[in-house]
Amino acid sequence: MSFPDATDKPSRTILTGEGGTGASRFKHVIECPDGRFRRLVPDELDQLQGFPKGWTDTGMTDGHRAFCMGNALVTGVPHRIGEAMVEVYGL
């Protein structure tokens, strides 16, 4: 696993332990332009999973929002694959 996480390549899987304040080698960490490191915020996790920014912003804590994205399924990619199959094979 690379450190920090690359922002120009596909992401690693988001796990349910992504949120919270405790340290973990499984949390996504990116490098800021000024050289500092930071974790992804819930809005970024929403978008990384293919949901609109703020999708989980329903009043729950940031840790719970991150947990929800760790439990989420990425549906955008399979949906596009299905559309391509319909177009190519007429399914």
Residue 21 confidence (pLDDT): 81
Q: What span, in angstroms and rounded, lies between the C-alpha atoms of 52 and 66?
A: 14
- Tell me the pLDDT tens digit for each residue of 49-90: 999 999 999 999 999 999 999 999 888 889 999 999 999 998
Q: What span, in angstroms and rounded, lies between the C-alpha atoms of 44 and 46?
A: 5
**What phi and psi, each to the nearest 5 degrees, are found at residue 37?**
-110, 145
Token pair of 12 as six digits:
């690693």
